[in-house]
């Protein structure tokens, strides 16, 4: 994975399936199911991880604030937290 070589990863997943025990086979089946997405992950440098982090922070802020009376104040709070 560190070398970002999809072909090698695909060979390991497909060729060695019968060698693993049941618990690992479940993981291997999941890898096979999402092989197309894993290929995109390894071939491209883009990720939505940063965006997901921002969404998580907003949801946590919304949860702990018990709702703001004003959307303007809520937006300001989000922007303040985003700067830090």
pLDDT digit string (tens) for 23-77?
A: 777 888 888 888 888 888 888 887 888 888 888 988 888 888 777 788 888 888 8
Contact (Cβ atoms closer than 8 angstroms) between residue 38 and residue 28: no
CB of 77 within 8 A of CB of 68?
A: yes
Q: 84 falls in which pLDDT band (50, 70, 90)?
A: low
Q: State the pLDDT at residue 71.
A: 85
Q: How far apart are CA 61 and CA 6, in angstroms?
A: 38
């Amino acid at each position: 994975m560190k070398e970002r070589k999809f072909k090698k990863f695909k060979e390991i997943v497909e060729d060695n399936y019968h060698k693993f025990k049941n618990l690992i086979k479940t993981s291997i089946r999941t890898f096979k199911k999402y092989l197309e997405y894993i290929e995109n992950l390894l071939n491209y440098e883009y990720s939505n991880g940063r965006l997901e982090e921002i969404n998580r922070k907003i949801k946590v802020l919304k949860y702990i604030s018990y709702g703001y009376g004003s959307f303007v104040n809520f937006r300001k709070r989000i922007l303040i937290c985003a700067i830090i």
